[in-house]
Amino acid sequence: MDSSTRPQLRPVPASIRVLILDESPIIRTGLRAVLHQDGIQVVGEAGDQCEAVALLADTSPDVVVVHTGGCPADVAAALREVRDWDGKVLALVGDSLSDSSVELVTKDADGTLLSSAGVEDLIAAVRVLVAGYSLFPTPATPSSRPSAPGDLPSQQTLTPRERDVLRLLGRGRTNAEISSQLSLSESTVKSHVQNLLAKLGLRNRVEAALHAVEAGLVGTR
């Protein structure tokens, strides 16, 4: 990334507050179950945009996760309603949405994620948005996507172990958690993190997490 195009990073709170917006109680329950972990606190659920706007003042969420379902026009209106609030909007979009529908949704969102994405992808996307990035990994028309700062740095220089560490960084894992999962000492993990940051030209763990998500590493084993 060119330093002139990098977004302004924000401190990531120890507990990220999330509000869920979806008309289906079943989907809201599922999202709550998968999000209420890894330092993320679900502070409220809304069945429509009016309820979501009413909850914003009481819950002060860092992120509103919106599941678009089959009504992208309604969701776009809902996102416009919450633009006065100083948080982030993550839209979960259907795999079958047309480019025009995706453009309608994303123009008022801070990021999008396919609703078929894995739990790790969702958690990583929430963390990336709170850190100050936008995230648009789904296909969209050129006018609806922000200009890319350049191609992703090559991962060919990474060792297999550094690639494993990068994947886990994308899932929001701490050094201690990576140490336990990969059976490495924490000092070794720190060394791998420093090495992969240097090789990929990244400044910190947040940029590494964003890179892992954009490169499609988060959903791999």
Cα dihedral across residues 206, 207, 211, 214: positive or negative: positive
Q: Where are the beta strands (DSSP E) in 152-218?
A: none
Measured CA to CA, the distance from residue 79 to residue 212 in angstroms comes to 27
3.40.50.360, 3.40.50.1100, 2.60.40.1930, 1.10.10.10: CATH of 160-214 = 1.10.10.10
Two tokens at 33? 């179950």
Q: Give the DSSP per-residue string, 76-130.
A: HHHHHHTTTSSSEEEEEE-TT--HHHHHHHHTT-SEEEETT--HHHHHHHHHHHH
Nearby residues of 71 by Cβ (< 8 Å), 6 or more positions away = none
Q: How many CB atoms lie within 10 A of CB 167?
A: 20
Please tell me what DSSP assigns to residue 86: S
In the block, tokens 């990334």 appear at 1
**According to the model, what pLDDT value does residue 3 have?**
42
Q: Going from the first residue of the chain to its last (221 residues), give the mean pLDDT of each consecutive group of 10, the final group possibly shorter.
A: 45 81 89 85 89 86 81 61 76 65 66 78 84 63 37 67 88 84 90 87 78 72 53
Query: Are 204 and 162 a contacting pair, CB within 8 Å?
Result: no
**According to the model, what pLDDT value does residue 142 have?**
36
Domain 3-130, what fold? Rossmann fold (3.40.50)
Q: Measured between alpha carbons, how far is residue 124 from residues 72, 90, 145, 155, 160 in Å?
A: 23, 12, 20, 19, 21
**According to the model, what pLDDT value does residue 221 have?**
53
Domain locations in the chain as residue ranges: 3-130, 160-214
Read off the pTM: 0.60
Query: Are 98 and 70 a contacting pair, CB within 8 Å?
Result: no
Query: Are 208 and 202 a contacting pair, CB within 8 Å?
Result: yes
**According to the model, what pLDDT value does residue 208 have?**
82
